[in-house]
Every structure is written in C-alpha cells, then in structure tokens.
Amino acid sequence: MKAIIVDNEKPAAEITKRTACGIKGLDITNIFNDGEAALKYIGNNKIDIAIIDINIQGMSGIDLGYKIKSKMLGVEIIYITKAKAFPMDAINLRAAAYLQKPCTTESLGYAVEMAGILSKRKKKKVFARTFGYFDLFVSGKPVMFKSAKAKELLALLIDRQGGTVTSDQIIGTLWEDRPNDVSTQNLCSKICKTLEKELKDNGAGDILVSSRSVKCLDTDQFECDLYMMLNGDKRAAGRYIGEYMMEYSWAENKAALLDKYLQIN
C-alpha cells in the first residue's frame, strides 16, 4: 500500500517514516510539511493511506483529512498527535486509527493493517467505463453482454446518474424509429429482464433497482469514471479526451456538456 506522511515538524516526519520502514507491504511515497502540498500531490498520484499529524500548518489535520477523502475515494486516514486526547472532529471522520507520538512499529503496523482491511471492504468490485466506448467491469474483468440492447440500456441508466428512467423513455432512446406500441413495449420489457439476468449472472445484480415500469441504478454499489470526474477526481478527468460512450448516438450531447464542464472547472 502506498502512503504519505503529513507533519509540519520535519524531524517528527522522518521518525515516522523510519518507523514505517519496518512495516511489510507499506511504501511511503512522500513526506509533506503542509496540507496544500499534500493535496496537490494526491491530485496526480494514487495513495492508499495518509498518515497525518492533527496539528499542521496552513490547515488543520482534520480539515486535510476531509479534503483528502473528498478528493480521492478509498483513502484511509491514520492520525498521529502528541496530545493525549483526540478532538471529536477527528473521531467523526472515522479514521482507520488514532496514534500518539512517538508511535512504535507495532502500533503503526497494526493501524496500517486495519487501514488495509477497511480499504478492501470499501472497494467496489463493479466499475463502469464511459469514456471512449462503454464497458462494465466486475472484479477487473469486462462483462461480455450477450444482448447488445441490454448493454445499451445499462449505458442509458448510467448516463442518468442514478435518476429514474421510465419504459417510455427507454423506448424513445433505444428504439427511436419504432412506434411505442404493444410490440415495442413487450420488447422493452424483455430487454429489461435480460439486463437484470445478465447483471445477476455476472455478480453485479445489486446495482439495478427495478419496478414494473421504472428503472434506475444504485450508484453507491459501483464506481464510474464519469461520476468520479464530476466529483472532482482529477485523475478521472485526465482520462477524458472528449469521447463519451462513443457507440451510442444519444450520448453525443453529454460529450459536449462534459467538454464545457472541463472548460469551466
């Protein structure tokens, strides 16, 4: 696991780094003496753990912890301090551990182990890629959809970002050249059931929320490059090069909107 140390006292930071060197599987990639520099670094580099002194210059360690978690999902925080008690704000952040300085290799090692366990629990196994061509991955492997229309329906639901989609809206998008008659409605119902089955068969059934005539996705159950970018993830934004769900004509307008979004942000 990759980790950074943030401590405005350089000697203390070096001591923590030497303590961490004895922990198997932990790689200290950088040390920072202020929060802004740490935030700038994680904007372009993936980390798993941030070891933060509560009392740092520029911003509090607590504020830094909140900013790190909002910037990069899945990062675990380990707080360290000279004080004998931790402020309630730090506890509310639900950090992986709270340690007193100077921490030992044993105590820091246990904290890192807990951080690893928490990180694995939080990591979502389903990932939707919308930049370029659309694909769904489960545990890192692409789902090989048997039905192209079922895959397109999933793409439409992902594009709606958790919003509901009615049967009429599905028909108007996926079968825009067909009349909305009984035959097309039956076809739509069949594709909805096919999507539900294909997701279940591939271990991703939890992402779909379905009623008789309305469908949506539980966005807490999966990760998506689009959602990550809109939440301020700079690494996700760096993967967007103006191409969004390229195989679907109805997605062209969203690509134009994303271009404008990036220009503003």
Residue of 257, 258, 137, 263 whose CA lies nearest to 204: 137
Q: Model confidence at 122, in pLDDT bands (50, 70, 90)?
A: low
pLDDT at 222: 92
- For 85, the token pair is 């008690």
Q: Is 244 helix (H, G, I), strand (E, B) or coil?
A: strand
Q: Is 234 helix (H, G, I), strand (E, B) or coil?
A: helix
Strand partners, 77: 50
pLDDT tens for residues 217-239? 999 889 999 999 998 888 888 88
Give the chain's domains with CATH numbers.
Answer: 2-122 (3.40.50.2300), 126-264 (1.10.10.10)
Look up the pTM and report it.
Answer: 0.58
Question: With contact defined as beta carbons under 8 Å apart, do 178 and 191 qualify?
Answer: no
DSSP assignment letter at 245: S
Q: What is the DSSP string of 15-84?
A: HHHHHHTTSTT-EEEEEESBHHHHHHHHTTS--SEEEEESS-BSS-HHHHHHHHHHHSTT-EEEEEESSS
Amino acid identity of 30? Answer: N
